Amino acid sequence: MPSATFPAQCHQPIGVFDSGVGGLSVLRALRAQLPHEHFIYVADSAYAPYGEKGSAFVAARCLAIARELVEDHGAKALVIACNTATAAGADALRARWPQWPIVGIEPALKPAAARTRTQCVGVLATRGTLQSARFARLLAAQPPQVRFVLQPCDGLADAIEQEAILPDGGLHAGRTDALIARYLAALGPLGPQPGAIDTLVLGCTHYPLAEAAWRRHAGLKAKADEGENESADAVALLEPGPPVARHARRLLAAAGLLNPGPAPGTVRLLATGSAAALLAAAQRLNLAAAESAPGTA
């Protein structure tokens, strides 16, 4: 159990968890930033989605999963790959294990405020995130001249989850697309013109898994067609994975916990629900190589 004398070693794994497959978007960024690290990813899919559950319930799940990751798997650090779980449980986890490097996620409001030219930012997130005290504090800390338009996306994380784990998306293949179109339309005009939203914050780790749909409905060019500079887009799309991965690297370096390699790291996948579904989703993201060991948390 982490404490002031917690014997974490650089070769020990990093624990990552989310309510389902959404955190795989963060794991993808972590793997790119930390190629020598070993990861244990827990999908709490038996209790998904978190975004439509109460904060006390989500906080209790965070404590249970964190305890398993440190006591059963010896995780040297923890990444909470879920905005709702960060809002509900990060403070409690840091109070319980003050010496343990813990990285949470929050919607990218500060980068969005720095990037916007029209002073209008759209924030798409779960209702649980948008109604949290943590998000209220984050929003209050932003420049007053920037207008943030908040859009709760009920049902979207679950639709993306089901589409990711079922062959060809199952019955959810069109539901994700329809919900994204609806919620973007609800934000109002997008573009570089005065008064329009020119920066979109994807405030849930599930949302980047549907990046192609976001780009299409926001009028952006397809990722595969991007050439020289993404800033050429009239609307910016901000996701949490890359900055979280960079922050995790900084924390590990400061604590002397970076795995020096040279061997590539491994991924172990655990789930409280269907491990096979998690593995299928990870394989679609090229995250589940031969070393992956699906199991049940």
Query: Over 50: is that where the pLDDT of 2 sits?
Result: no
Average pLDDT taken over every residue of the chain: 88
Q: Which one from 62, 82, 120, 153 is the annotated catalytic residue?
A: 82
Taking the whole predicted model, whether its pTM rises above 0.75 is answered as yes
pLDDT band, very low/low/confident/very high, at 92 (cuts 50, 70, 90): very high
Query: Over 70: is that where the pLDDT of 89 sits?
Result: yes
Provide CB contacts within 8 A for 147, sequence distance 6+. 119, 120, 121
Residue 204 among the catalytic residues: yes
CA distance 216 to 224: 12
Helix (H, G, I), strand (E, B) or coil at 156: helix
Range 256-284 average pLDDT: 90
CA distance 117 to 44: 39
Q: What is the pLDDT of residue 227?
A: 42
Query: Over 70: is that where the pLDDT of 228 sits?
Result: no
Q: What is the pLDDT of residue 225?
A: 44
Nearest to 113 by CA among 198, 206, 187: 198
Instruction: Please provide residue 58's backbone torsions phi and psi, each rounded to the nearest 5 degrees.
Output: -65, -40
Range 185-190 average pLDDT: 97
Residue 120 among the catalytic residues: no
Tell me the DSSP string of 240-297: SHHHHHHHHHHHHHHTT-----SSPP-EEEEESS-HHHHHHHHHHTT---TT---EE-
pLDDT tens-digit readout, 103-130: 999 899 999 999 999 999 999 998 888 9
pLDDT tens-digit readout, 132-157: 888 999 999 999 999 999 999 999 98
Range 276-292 average pLDDT: 74
Q: Which one from 62, 120, 153, 204 is the annotated catalytic residue?
A: 204
Nearest to 118 by CA among 179, 46, 190: 190
CA distance 293 to 289: 9
- Considering the chain, what percentage of its residues have pLDDT values greater than 90? 65
Q: What is the pLDDT of residue 198?
A: 97
Query: Over 80: is that where the pLDDT of 293 sits?
Result: no
